[in-house]
Structure 1
Amino acid sequence: MKQQTLDFEKLAEKFKAIGHPVRVAMFQLLCHCPEEGLSVKGIYQTLGLDQPTASRHLAVMRNSGVVRRRTERGNTFYCLCLTDPDVSCLSGCFTNSKSKIE
C-alpha cells in the first residue's frame, strides 16, 4: 500500500505541474512537436508569452519530471519525458484531442 501511495503522490505532482492554463498549453504544444523538442524561443513565440514567463513555467514542469531540457549550441530545447509512463499516458489525452495549437 505504501508504494501505491508514493505512485499516487508522483502522479499528483505531475498533474500539479500541468495544472495551470499556460502549462496546459505548453504540454499540448510539446505533444505535437518533433521528437527533438522545441526551443524556448519557439515555445514562447508560439504561445504569445514573454521569455521569463515561459522559462518559469517550463522550470515547474521540468522539476516535476514532465519535461526534459537539453542545450545545443547555446539554445535550450524542451520535450516531454515520454519515458515516464505517467507523462506518456497524459500525452495520449492531448495527441488524440482535436484541439491543436497552431
Structure 2
Amino acid sequence: MQIEEFDSESLSEKFKALGHPIRLSIFHLLCTCGAKRLKVKSIYETLKLEQASTSRHLDIMRRAGILERQREGNGTYYCLCSENSGIACLRRCFKE
C-alpha cells in the first residue's frame, strides 16, 4: 500500500488562509460557480464586496497556494490550484 506524503505545514497554511469569512466565501464561489476561473470583477460583484478588499483576500489565498492568478489583457482571473491534493479534498467538501 502506497501512502501519499502529507505536508501538514502546507495544509495548515491553507486552512489559516480560509479562516476568514470573506476568503471562505470566495473559495465556495470558485468551487460551485461551474466556471474554471473567474474575473476579479465577477468575484467582488457576486459577493457584493469592495474591489480593494477582494483583491487583498485573493492575494492572501494565492500566496497560501489555494488560488492561481492568470492575467489576460487588462483582466485578472483566479482559479483554484488544480494540482494540490489538499485543495482537491476541500473542494469536494463544498460540492457535497
- TM-score with structure 2 setting the length: 0.90
Cα distance in 1, alignment partners of residues 73 and 32 from structure 2? 24
1:23 and 2:59 equivalent?
A: no
Quick one: which amino acid aligns to residue 78 of structure 1? Y
Cα distance in 2, alignment partners of residues 74 and 54 from structure 1? 17
Partner of 1:43: 43
Quick one: which amino acid aligns to residue 17 of structure 1? A
Shift in Å, 1:82: 2.1
What count of residue pairs does the alignment treat as equivalent? 91
Shift in Å, 1:19: 0.6
SS in 2 for 1:23: helix
Partner of 1:79: 79
SS in 1 for 2:52: helix
Q: Which has the higher contact order (CA 8 A, sep 6+)?
A: 1
Cα distance in 2, alignment partners of residues 95 and 57 from structure 1? 22
Runs (5+) with no aligned partner, structure 1: 97-102
SS in 1 for 2:78: strand
Cα distance in 2, alignment partners of residues 95 and 67 from structure 1? 17
Partner of 2:60: 60
- TM-score with structure 1 setting the length: 0.85
SS in 1 for 2:65: coil
Report percent identity of matched pairs. Answer: 48
Partner of 2:92: 92
SS in 2 for 1:49: coil
Cα distance in 1, alignment partners of residues 18 and 58 from structure 2? 10
SS in 2 for 1:12: helix
Shift in Å, 1:32: 1.6
